[in-house]
Amino acid sequence: DAMVIQNPRYQVTQFGKPVTLSCSQTLNHNVMYWYQQKSSQAPKLLFHYYDKDFNNEADTPDNFQSRRPNTSFCFLDIRSPGLGDAAMYLCATSRDDEQYFGPGTRLTVT
């Protein structure tokens, strides 16, 4: 089945220790998105790629970076995680207006 895959599903990192979350897709969609979702809150868009074009949301902290080496893969790098960065990180893809989400990576910062 075509799908959006996120690894790992659960990630524990230490305060200030860089961490990378990965997303892959078999849908061959040209747009990929990263969202941050905290408990009982709406997903918050961090950035998205339209093909290779990177689009950063204005309020996304510099601590968050992203890479998209090819159509299928996209990475979220958190350079120096703080306690406030503990959240669920969701990857999504789309070709048109419908976005399809992966299962998410739950990040814990100790």
Partner 1 sequence: QKEVEQDPGPLSVPEGAIVSLNCTYSNSAFQYFMWYRQYSRKGPELLMYTYSSGNKEDGRFTAQVDKSSKYISLFIRDSQPSDSATYLCAMSPPSGYSTLTFGKGTMLLVSP
Residue 1 as a binder of partner 1 (CB under 8 A): the answer is no
Minimum distance from residue 36 beta carbon to partner 1 (Å): 12
Nearer to partner 1, 45 or 75 (CB): 45
- 25 Cβ contact list (under 8 Å, min separation 6): 2, 3, 4, 5, 32, 72, 91, 93, 102
Residue 96 as a binder of partner 1 (CB under 8 A): the answer is yes
- 84 Cβ contact list (under 8 Å, min separation 6): none
Minimum distance from residue 62 beta carbon to partner 1 (Å): 20
Residue 50 as a binder of partner 1 (CB under 8 A): the answer is yes
Say how far apart CA 64 and CA 46 lie, in whole Å.
Answer: 8
Region near partner 1 per CB under 8 A, out of 12-20, 68-76, 78-86, 87-95: 87-95
